[in-house]
Amino acid sequence: MASTVTRRLLRELQDIQREPSEELVSLAPTSDDDILRWRAVLRGPQDTPYSGVCFEIHIEIPEQYPIKPPTLTFVTPVCHPNVHFETGEICLDILKTQWSPAWTLTSTCLAIHVLLANPEPSSPLNCDAANLLRCGDTLGYNSLVSLYAGIYGRRLPDP
């Protein structure tokens, strides 16, 4: 008999297949053998320095999901105040203290998509990027983000 976490994840996978999200290029388990490891490919938000590229996120799901949150980390290096450039760790309250079982893998990835467009420099994992925003150097921040997005992000094909 399938466990509660397996049933929940299979239901989420069916929802993803039935109603794909524009912000997500893909969201699925990494293999048929392990429902607790997923891979997401997230589009860079429009009208941001991330626009036109996509980023890979690795998702580890605990056995206690959805009671406990999944762990999401960027595989693609991302220059962002709330993302650790080397480890891919993401500083987002819903991944820690504000988690609720109402969140799904899709809604969590969409929250990260929103975070990319709306950085929070007061809780940085990347102090250099945060300091540019704190000093009001939006041009410098956008230039730095564009540079790294161009180097590490995978280009999306033109529509």
Catalytic annotation, residues: 91
Backbone angles phi, psi at 143, to 5 degrees: -65, -45
DSSP string for residues in 3-16:
-HHHHHHHHHHHHH
Is the torsion defined by CA of 145, 55, 7, 35 positive or negative? Answer: negative
Short-list 50, 21, 23, 47, CA closest to 155:
50
For residues 127 and 132, what is the distance between their CA atoms, to the nearest angstrom? 9
Number of other residues whose CB lies within 10 A of the CB of residue 102: 7
For the record, the structure tokens of 94 come out as 């819903």
Phi, psi of 77 (to 5 degrees): -60, 135
